[in-house]
Amino acid sequence: MPCYFCQKNVQEIDFKNTELLRRFTSGLAKIRPKKRTGICASHQRKLSKAIKRARFLGLLPFTTK
- pLDDT tens-place string over residues 2-60: 899 999 998 899 999 999 999 999 999 999 999 999 999 999 999 999 999 999 999 99
- Greater pLDDT, 1 or 23: 23
Q: What are φ and ψ of residue 31, in 5° steps?
A: -75, 125
Considering the entire predicted model, what is its pTM? 0.91
* Secondary structure percentages of the chain, helix, strand, coil, to 5: 45, 5, 50
CATH topology of domain 4-56: 30s Ribosomal Protein S18 (4.10.640)
What distance in Å separates the CA atoms of residue 59 and residue 30, rounded to the nearest whole number? 14
pLDDT of residue 64: 83
Domain segments of the chain as ranges: 4-56
pLDDT of residue 62: 93
Q: Which residues contact 34 (CB under 8 A, 6 or more apart)?
A: 40, 41, 44
3, 5, 10, 60 from 18: Cα distances, Å: 19, 15, 16, 7
